[in-house]
Chain A
Amino acid sequence: MKEINIIIGGPQGSGIETSMSILSRAFTRKGYGIIASREYFSNIVGRHSYIVMRVSSEKLPQSIDLPVQIIAASDAETVFTHFDEIRGGGALIYDINNEKKKLNEVPSMENITKQRIRRKLESKGLDQAVSSIIEYLRKEEGIKPIGIDFASILSELSKKFKLDPGHLSRYVSTILVSSISTVIGLEDDYLLFGITSHFKNRENILKHNLALYEMVSERLHSMKEILPLDTPKLKIEKMMVLTGNDAVAIGKIVGGARYQAYYPITPAADESTTLEKYGHGTEGNQDIGPIVILQTEDEISAISSTIGAALTGARSSTATSGPGFDLMVEALSWAGANEVPIVITYYQRGGPSTGQPTRGSQSDLMNAIFSSHGEFARIVISSGDHEEAILDAAEAFNLAEKFQVPVIHLLDKFLANTTASVKIPDIEKIRIERGSIFRNGGEYRRFDASNSISPRAFIGDDGIVIWYSGDEHDEIGHIVEDPENRIKMYEKRMKKLELIRKEVPLNEKLKVYGFEDPEFIIIGWGSTKGVAVEALESAAKEVGVRGAYVNLKMLWPFPSEELKEIVGKISEKKIIVAEHSYEANIARLMAMEAGLNVGGKIVKYTGRPFFLSEFYRALKSILFDNEEKVVLTLGA
């Protein structure tokens, strides 16, 4: 096979993330491209959690897909939840001790989910035990059931190393990854590399896991390589394997961030953890940082202290998601009024309210652009994938400092929690542009109105005294309510929007993928990029239509003229937008800012990612069946 899709599932806390890390590293080591997205409940231990992974021998995959060829289930819930997501000669790896389990014996499953699955089972004439699903998959779908006795393997391990039986569940993830790699025929070395590099510095755990791998691969001897994956054809010597959170943290470090304040919230907090781990120290002869990471008492404090740090000249940022951003909005307005360069990394998740805290969404576009009282200039940018996220996180600081405005870097849970193998970005390309800085000496006016952008001096600079106020102020920074001053300062701040429009280069505003003379155009932003670009490829190959994807990178100020030029020659009916929301807010923004109407919308609001095949089907039904809006629902 050229590529293979895999689901690994089990209770939250049982090592699903470990499995993802080990397998990603193992496959990458051999030269495959991988992408893996993680789904989980807002829960620490016990609820159903899983990853969907795509492994390719030919490319760095940009989206995940269903159905899969392999499901590896450590519990019965995984079998019940995903049995209709596997097809076509694949393999189901499961624990034989779960064979007799019935649907109503799964306590962690929501009743409403049980009902949904019961209906599915009934429609296929199945009774409600795992064994009957296995039988059905074998007979009807040609799936190879691979039953493993988890308990006996673990007890053997426990005897061998005298392990505490209470800790054995930690090793379940290795049973899963060992079986997957055996079935695919990944040579021992690679999986061992994956295990070793994941557990490095933890010698005992490493030893146990390696022994466990031996035990599993021995038992599955007859299953070796029943789903062989082609030898990888990518010619890449080194790859990075990282999550979206990691990507942003790395970009911030390279981009010269020096202060980050945050209040814990999913899916943003992991970014600060990575910053904390890599943001200081010495590498070679180079002193890195330090970046000070402050966990504050709330989001209000996070952004307020970020602004405070920025006033002293440090590159400062905070990271949050919807509920936290809402709390930051008052201070965002202060930063706008005082022309303070800060970066807010905004990871969208499902709302309204705490909505679906661990699921994905792109429904906060308007919140990022329009939140806050009063009018002021801000920049909102988005990243389409991991590589972009690294570069954009660094570039966000340049934009903030050059134009002296707050920058909101809008991402989402899908990107944050997706692990992907990517090429090492070209670090030499990263610029550090600090904008206009006051160095002349003499009298200083922070808000010198002779220009929309006044040179910055920093609090603490020798011989300079600076005032800031959220109230309307004069050039010195003192409160003034005079109408003439009001006009002058208001215009100074607002004119930045024109400057930004004029000075930000096209490729930082939007990028076009696909054919140069397209018959249709998909427009989207953020993590929609990967799936849309791959759907274009399918469309060209399978039905011979040429498409392009416009990845909107700068969402505010909106690149109206540039977008109009690109879609100008296409009939409105062939303009399609895609977004994880109900409204497809980007279409509204296009109408409002550029007077553009769209012919079709592909939306999804279950909180689950776009899967390539469903996205492609939706695209075809808009192009060929005159559908106007397709709502996608795939995924458990």
Chain B
Amino acid sequence: MEHELNYRTDLWIDWCPGCGNFGILAAVTRAMKDLRLDPSKTVVVSGIGCSGKIPHYINVNGVHTLHGRAIPFATGIKIANPDLTILVHGGDGDLLGIGAGHFVALGRRNLDIVVMLHNNGVYGLTKGQASPTLPLNSKTKGLNLPNIQGSVNPIALALASGYTFVARGYAFDGNHLSELIKKAIQHRGAAFIDILQPCVTFNDIYTADFYRKAIYKLEGEEGWDPVVREPAETEEKILRAMRKAMEWGEKIPIGIFYENPAITTFEDRLSDILRGSYPKKSPSKSVIEKDGKSIFNAEIFEELFKDFIIEVKG
């Protein structure tokens, strides 16, 4: 198929003018275009929030799910049809608050899905409450009192959970972000991109101005090589990535923190357990009926379930 495709739908976008989500949308569609992704084989799965609306603006399959549940929806889609490219979008409240358990589970499974965190430090759509990435004692303009809860470190959490591609991008560095997204899509296994996303309406601390001054690129660092090339390097590379993950404030690194192509994906593990019948016959593809009837006949039934069948010898 010729992919002179427009990856943007023509819907009016209801994000606040100046919102970092515009940058993310542009970077995602650019990555899709560069990779010439087939819209019918690509799925954007989102949660709820400002970020959750993104599937409607992209011209590929879109599943706008529930608050925090994008990852499990995506998990079912991917397992049932492993040929699809799946991108999950969620806010920090979505992925690290209500959906934190699913976030961890995806890492453990290393299923081939890309997760993009729209990290704005606040709950956007419910009007600016503190999100799980907002540091303790911060007081953004939507809060009455300083934040009384500590923050979670998304990069460190992803590393600890088992994601095999962990990166950070910035919403308004489109070139850099779309390159990261492309690499994440090309990576086999669970990929995570923490995207710093200014929320112009509710977060007056992590503004575009703030990020412009603080951000630097890991690629530019002398000797920075996040890729695990030998299994023996794994521990060292994770520790280095963790150390980088702790940098926050005056200097904030973006780029790839960790990449490990050698860990088996969930699809590979399933294929082993199911003795090769997967993914050839994935749930979405295998035959279940013949002329409106079960593929089972009495003979196959009795053979398969012989453990339950007893011949009477009275």
Contact = CB atoms under 8 A, between A and B. Distances in A.
Contacts of A300: 68-69, 72, 102
Contact of B72 (A258, A301, A465): A301
Contacts of A71: none
Nearest to A314: B283
A221 interface: no
Contacts, number: 257
A308 B83 CA distance: 14
B314 to A, nearest CB: 3
A550 interface: no
Interface stretch (A286-294, A364-372, A575-583): A286-294
Contacts of A316: 76, 80, 283
Nearest to A298: B101
Interface string A553-580: 0000000000000000000000000000
A290 B304 contact: no
Contacts of B105: 296-297, 301
B147 interface: no
Interface stretch (A112-120, A240-248, A403-411, A585-593): A240-248
B288 A306 contact: no
Interface in B61-90: 61-66, 68-69, 71-81, 83-84
Interface in A19-59: 25, 28-31
Contact of B303 (A283, A307, A428): A283
Contacts of B69: 300-301, 304, 331
Contact of B55 (A308, A421, A467): A467
Interface in B271-314: 274-275, 277-278, 281-284, 286, 288-289, 292-305, 308-314
B286 A289 contact: yes
The size bracket of the interface on B is: 35 or more
A286 B295 contact: yes
A290 B286 contact: yes
Contacts of B80: 258-259, 292, 308-309, 312-314, 316
Contact of A28 (B65, B66, B298, B310): B310
A258 B39 contact: no
A296 B77 CA distance: 14
Contacts of A88: none
Contact of B64 (A240, A431, A470): A470
B312 A236 contact: yes
B270 A292 contact: yes
Interface string A461-493: 111111111110000011100000000000000
B74 A288 contact: no
B104 interface: yes
Contacts of B63: 308, 311, 459, 467-468
B40 interface: yes
B72 A290 contact: no
Contact of A309 (B11, B77, B275): B77
Contacts of B76: 259, 261, 304-311, 316
Contacts of A334: 65-66
Given A231-B314, A308-B63, A334-B66, A428 B298 contact: yes
Given A236-B312, A334-B65, A434 B289 contact: yes
B77 A428 contact: no
B interface secondary structure, majority: mixed
B84 A256 contact: no
Contacts of A82: none
A390 B252 CA distance: 59
B41 interface: yes
A465 B1 CA distance: 15
B59 interface: yes
Given A30-B313, A246-B308, A312-B284, A431 B293 contact: yes
Contact of A460 (B84, B270, B304): B84
Contact of A237 (B66, B286, B312): B312
Contact of B281 (A232, A242, A287, A304): A287
A253 B77 CA distance: 20
A312 B302 CA distance: 31
Contact of A297 (B9, B102, B293, B303): B102
Contacts of A301: 69, 71-72, 75, 101-102, 105
A81 B216 CA distance: 73
B39 to A, nearest CB: 5
A135 interface: no
Contacts of B293: 428, 430-432
Given A308-B72, A477-B62, A30 B314 contact: yes
The size bracket of the interface on A is: 35 or more
Contacts of B61: 459-460, 465-467
A36 to B, nearest CB: 14
Contacts of A308: 45, 63, 72-78, 80
Contacts of A394: 294
B237 interface: no
A522 interface: no
B65 A470 contact: yes
B210 to A, nearest CB: 32
A105 interface: no
Best-surrounded residue of A238, A297, A470 (most CB of chain B within 10 A): A297
Best-surrounded residue of A421, A464, A467, A470 (most CB of chain B within 10 A): A467
B60 interface: yes
A421 B311 CA distance: 12
Contacts of A298: 101
B296 A460 contact: no
A468 B294 contact: no
Contacts of B295: 256, 286
B258 to A, nearest CB: 22
B144 to A, nearest CB: 29
B62 A460 contact: no
B294 A284 contact: no
A469 B56 contact: yes
A433 interface: yes
A259 B302 contact: no
Given A278-B305, A434-B289, A459-B43, A331 B66 contact: yes
B310 A432 contact: no
A437 B187 CA distance: 34
Contact of B73 (A232, A286, A305): A305
A214 B61 CA distance: 67
Contacts of A424: 298, 301-302, 309
B302 A284 contact: no
Contacts of A237: 311-312
Given A290-B278, A294-B75, A312-B81, 14 more contacts: A30-B314, A232-B314, A236-B312, A241-B308, A258-B284, A284-B303, A308-B78, A314-B81, A394-B294, A427-B297, A458-B284, A462-B40, A465-B61, A478-B56
Give 9 closest A-B pairs by Cβ, nearest first.
A308-B76, A256-B288, A305-B76, A31-B314, A314-B283, A258-B283, A432-B289, A304-B72, A309-B80
21 contacts: A29-B313, A31-B312, A238-B310, A254-B296, A283-B300, A289-B277, A289-B286, A294-B79, A296-B105, A297-B101, A301-B102, A304-B65, A306-B76, A308-B80, A316-B283, A427-B296, A430-B296, A467-B63, A468-B63, A469-B64, A478-B11
